[in-house]
Chain A
């Protein structure tokens, strides 16, 4: 009887330690608390050249106000053009934040797309990564948008028309590190919620390093010589955790009508 109980408990433990647990089906997953995030087991070695699954950046995924100092320390001085562009942006976060009524954040006040790289620099809530034979697809909870990262060996386009989410190609640097290069980014978007600007010359490098089965690290480099005096790391080995495959993500879509309602009811009076 005792042996049976122990065996049953061990089997259940193994089941529960794995993100593939059949008990792990859930709707409207919103994210992990810091303790839950840090308490996840490694789950075994990393699979080779595989990022597929649903990942959560946990407490660091969303660039909350507690991370403002980190971002400010990482950010190099602006070029003269960068300073001029930064003065046009009136953010609600960061060292240049303004009162609520004065914010001109295109996402929260107009319902514009966050765009790339902002979706990974501040609003990196859970995302699903799917791999095909010639693409890696990033499906974001925030805005319920997706990116296509081509892995078929193509080159990035020359002088492309800017896009909200740019043009991306990716390659495996080694069996556990996937590197993505993105250009052609629309300069109406901000780099982050701190109102950091960028030009259409922006080039972003993402490095996804799979540490083990359940852990991923993301490093994001901003390279925009028109706006910043040198490249900088807006994310530096930010940890992410693998969620069970039955995880359904909640929608988080900042629509234009909802932004307008907030403007009328709250922010226009919050001076």
Chain B
């Protein structure tokens, strides 16, 4: 019975942990699908918006020149379900961003994950984790 009760509680907690599947308003043809790059940088802006949230950050390229990247995620509803929030980043935060760039070489792409200064990793793709809804 204890097992049954635990199972019920877990399943109900899980009920509120869900998420609508990430439904982009565009396909992936623009992005260099499968190519991953990892950049260490400093956040300049975090835009919490529809149809996509996006993160802007400065990072040095291989020549040492600083480029300002703009990388998108899904919408706030989908990202909230993943544990992201409007206050996930602030200007000046040092972050490590794993991303999939666009094919044309611009400093634009979409986020795969972000490692925060406190060691927490925010994941933007793949199966939905069982996150607690925002309050």
Flag if B128 contacts A265 (CB, 8 Å): no
- CB closest chain-A residue, reference B45: A265
CB of A33 within 8 A of chain B? yes
CB of A42 within 8 A of chain B? no
Please judge, given known A-B contacts A12-B8, A64-B21, whether A29 and B16 are in contact too, CB under 8 Å. Answer: yes
Min CB distance, B110 to chain A, in Å? 9
Flag if B14 contacts A35 (CB, 8 Å): yes
Min CB distance, B126 to chain A, in Å? 12
Flag if B47 contacts A261 (CB, 8 Å): yes
Flag if A63 contacts B23 (CB, 8 Å): yes
Flag if B30 contacts A101 (CB, 8 Å): yes
**How long is the Cα–Cα vector from A17 to B15 in the complex, in angstroms?**
11
CB neighbours of A9 from chain B (8 A): 1, 4-5
**How long is the Cα–Cα vector from A254 to B52 in the complex, in angstroms?**
9
Q: How large is the interface on B (under 10, 10 to 19, 20 to 34, 35 or more residues)?
A: 35 or more
CB of A108 within 8 A of chain B? yes
Min CB distance, A241 to chain B, in Å? 10
CB of A39 within 8 A of chain B? yes
Overall SS of chain B's interface: loop
CB neighbours of B31 from chain A (8 A): 270
Q: How large is the interface on A (under 10, 10 to 19, 20 to 34, 35 or more residues)?
A: 35 or more
Flag if B70 contacts A258 (CB, 8 Å): no
CB of A78 within 8 A of chain B? no
**How long is the Cα–Cα vector from A32 to B77 in the complex, in angstroms?**
12
Flag if B18 contacts A31 (CB, 8 Å): yes
**How long is the Cα–Cα vector from A31 to B76 in the complex, in angstroms?**
12
CB of A81 within 8 A of chain B? no
Flag if A265 contacts B70 (CB, 8 Å): yes
Flag if A255 contacts B8 (CB, 8 Å): no
**Which residues of A are in contact with B by a Cβ distance under 8 Å?**
5-6, 9, 12-13, 16-17, 21, 23-24, 26-37, 39-40, 58-59, 61-66, 92-93, 97-101, 103, 105, 107-108, 122, 125, 141, 193, 250, 252-255, 258-259, 261-262, 265-266, 269-271
